[in-house]
Amino acid sequence: MLPINEIYNKDVFEFLNEIDRASVDLAVVDPPYNMGKADWDTFPSNLEFFTFTYNWLDSLIPTLKSTGSLYVFNTPYNSAFILQYLIKKGMVFQNWITWDKRDGFNASIRRYTHGQETILFFTRL
């Protein structure tokens, strides 16, 4: 069992393997979005991004208590795939939360500005 009230800087899979199964009440996860804004957020393809994402979800789900909750932040596009995956894994969809984050304009000339962020809310039961 990991000591509580500590900050850990570890690989996600190493960290999740150290957490006792069925011991987590709440997981709030803000993972990579594959937007290419930093090395840790850049994947060679969508396939590799979703493979990584599904692998950490598979490692996280067993750590949740039967009454546990999960919030996952991501882009609307990625969240559509994550939502379907979590439903297939037996998680119970509770809500698609849209966080209004308008704080100015972006420099995009091909798309509308990203003035929101998606948060998926799931429970085990």
Percent of the chain predicted with pLDDT > 70: 90
In one letter, which amino acid is 43?
F
Burial of 70 (C-beta count, 10 Å sphere; 0-12/13-18/19+): buried
Instruction: Give me the CATH number covering residue 86.
Output: 3.40.50.150
Spell out the alpha helix ranges (H) of the chain: 12-18, 46-60, 76-88
pLDDT at 103: 63
| Most confident listed range (77-86, 95-104, 108-117) | 77-86
Q: Is residue 64 part of a domain?
A: yes
Residue 18 lies inside a defined structural domain of this protein:
no
* Six-digit token string for 90: 């037996």
Number of structural domains found in the chain: 1
Mean pLDDT, rounded, for 37-53: 97
Name the band, by pLDDT with cuts 50, 70 and 90, for residue 2. confident
DSSP string, 87-109: HHTT-EEEEEEEEE---S----S
Percent of the chain with pLDDT over 90: 80
pLDDT attached to residue 116: 83
Position 9 in a domain: no
Helix (H) or strand (E) holding 24: strand 24-29
Calpha distance 2→20 (Å, rounded) = 8
* pLDDT, position 114: 65
In a domain, 61, yes or no: yes
Q: Is residue 7 situated within a structural domain?
A: no
Residue 8 DSSP SS3? coil
> Which residue segment(s) compose the domain that 94 sits in?
27-103+114-123
46 falls in which pLDDT band (50, 70, 90)?
very high
